[in-house]
């Protein structure tokens, strides 16, 4: 997938969903993540101190900080800035390269760390593609714990959105997004990147050539956002739209990648979409709306309510929200387990799809995935229309 487009898609998806929120099953905290009592005379640690002396010092036992490629540098600095030597000494550190030591092949950054009185530098390994409750390596303490729950891995979110569009779009049609905050679609509709990819998947299957997720056609993920403006009926007078813009709260209007000023041109851009005379459309270099956006439609004549030829339609958004979240349990007699972290897509029906492992006991992954398949959420919405969104899921297993 084109990486520049993926970045724009990812940022938009995070903005729509609760990328900063966690659907969380609360249960007993695992003993392995409880703060460790400091040795006599040592400063207290604001995070647990690892018992395993290889933790963080061996690439295969790297420190899982989460957040993905978009946030890796900031989260690595945040973690290391909160770390101290055993006596509370301030650290200096420098990145020394990347390795692919984990079995799944995700990159791991190596940092050379030192502090006053240390005989020779220590190499610590940090993994931004997985996450667990932060700990200090043996021989270190945390002066503060500022890492927090990881944000959505934006590139993973983009990849999962494409997969979901191919899977679901082949067998169903999704209604477009209303341009009106009340969901009425009086002034028009929009097709976000997910809906456009889903339409392409449906058309491909109808033509007898269903899409292969591993061999998508050129341009499949790069169509952006298409906004359609309807003509207004003012009694017996029909007022056609003449232009469409997306204007953020600050800054210039969003660049367009195409205008569709006739019904025929719009039909070519949206095969199967029936556009009545006077309907126009425009494609934008976004995959979906952002919270700061307003749609501005200019008409060829004065609009019905009077006062000019322009209508502004602010975008209204709500995030996803957990509704039904049955709690996972451990088998009888099982030892306490650390939390399991997943990244999921919440689809238009409020179902949690395509759970991806971020961290925690891999032996409980299948149980965790089965659990979230039974969860239900209120989907994220734009102008009352459901849209896909992303969430970090935290599963704390009860005994």
Each residue's pLDDT tens digit, 250-286: 999 999 999 998 888 898 889 889 888 889 999 999 9
Kindly give, in sequence order, each residue whose CB lies less than 8 Å from that of residue 332, ignoring residues fewer than 6 positions away.
none
Q: In the predicted model, is pLDDT for residue 135 greater than 60?
A: yes
- Across 345-363, b (16+ Cβ under 10 Å) vs e yields bbbbebbbbbbbebbbbee
Kindly give, in sequence order, each residue whose CB lies less than 8 Å from that of residue 358, ignoring residues fewer than 6 positions away.
64, 66, 130, 131, 150, 153, 341, 342, 343, 392
- The pLDDT-based confidence of 174 (bands split at 50, 70, 90) is very high
Q: In the predicted model, is pLDDT for residue 9 greater than 60?
A: no
Judge whether 138 and 85 are in contact, CB under 8 Å.
no
Return the number of other C-beta atoms located less than 10 Å from residue 377's C-beta.
Answer: 24
pTM here is: 0.86
Who has greater pLDDT, 126 or 134?
A: 126
- The pLDDT-based confidence of 104 (bands split at 50, 70, 90) is low
Return the biggest CA–CA distance within the chain: 87
Place of tokens 């010092």: 57
- The pLDDT-based confidence of 299 (bands split at 50, 70, 90) is very high
The predicted structure's pLDDT at residue 102: 62
- The pLDDT-based confidence of 8 (bands split at 50, 70, 90) is very low
In this prediction, residues 289-316 reach a mean pLDDT of 92
Q: In the predicted model, is pLDDT for residue 52 greater than 70?
A: yes
Return the number of other C-beta atoms located less than 10 Å from residue 200's C-beta.
Answer: 22
Place of tokens 């898609």: 9
The predicted structure's pLDDT at residue 283: 96
Alpha-carbon distance of 243 to 95, in angstroms, equals: 50
**Dihedral of alpha carbons 361, 23, 148, 19, sign:** positive
H-run or E-run covering 161: helix 154-169
The predicted structure's pLDDT at residue 264: 85
pLDDT tens sequence across 34-44: 344 444 456 78
- The pLDDT-based confidence of 22 (bands split at 50, 70, 90) is low
Q: In the predicted model, is pLDDT for residue 14 greater than 90?
A: no
The predicted structure's pLDDT at residue 109: 96
Which token pair is 374? 């039974």
């Amino acid at each position: 997938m084109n990486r520049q487009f993926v970045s724009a898609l990812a940022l938009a998806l995070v903005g729509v969903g609760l990328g900063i929120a966690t659907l969380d099953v609360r249960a007993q905290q695992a003993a392995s993540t409880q703060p460790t009592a400091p040795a006599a005379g040592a400063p207290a640690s604001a995070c647990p101190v690892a018992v395993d002396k290889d933790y963080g010092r061996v690439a295969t036992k790297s420190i899982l900080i989460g957040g993905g490629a978009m946030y890796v540098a900031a989260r690595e600095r945040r973690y290391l800035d909160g770390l101290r030597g055993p006596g509370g000494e301030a650290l200096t550190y420098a990145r020394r390269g990347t390795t692919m030591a984990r079995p799944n092949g995700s990159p791991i950054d190596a940092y050379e760390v030192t502090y006053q009185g240390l005989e020779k530098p220590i190499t610590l390994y940090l993994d931004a593609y997985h996450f667990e409750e932060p700990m200090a390596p043996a021989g270190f303490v945390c002066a503060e714990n500022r890492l927090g729950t990881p944000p959505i891995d934006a590139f993973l979110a983009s990849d999962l959105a494409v997969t979901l569009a191919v899977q679901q779009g082949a067998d169903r049609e999704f209604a477009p997004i209303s341009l009106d905050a009340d969901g009425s679609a009086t002034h028009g509709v929009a097709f976000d990147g997910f809906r456009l990819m889903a339409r392409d998947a449906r058309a491909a299957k109808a033509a007898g050539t269903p899409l292969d997720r591993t061999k998508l056609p050129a341009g499949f993920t790069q169509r952006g956002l298409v906004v359609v403006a309807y003509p207004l009926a003012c009694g017996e007078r029909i007022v056609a739209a003449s232009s469409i813009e997306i204007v953020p709260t600050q800054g210039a209007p969003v660049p367009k990648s195409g205008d569709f000023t006739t019904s025929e041109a719009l039909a070519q851009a949206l095969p199967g979409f029936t556009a009545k005379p006077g309907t126009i459309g425009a494609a934008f270099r976004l995959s979906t709306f952002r919270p700061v956006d307003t749609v501005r439609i200019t008409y060829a004549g004065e609009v019905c309510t009077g006062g000019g030829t322009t209508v502004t339609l602010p975008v209204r958004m709500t995030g996803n929200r957990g509704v039904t979240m049955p709690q996972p349990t451990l088998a009888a007699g099982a030892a306490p387990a650390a939390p399991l972290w997943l990244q999921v897509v919440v689809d238009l029906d409020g179902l949690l799809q395509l759970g991806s492992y971020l961290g925690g006991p891999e032996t409980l992954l299948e149980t965790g995935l089965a659990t979230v398949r039974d969860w239900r959420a209120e989907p994220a919405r734009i102008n009352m229309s459901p849209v896909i969104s992303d969430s970090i899921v935290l599963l704390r297993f009860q005994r």
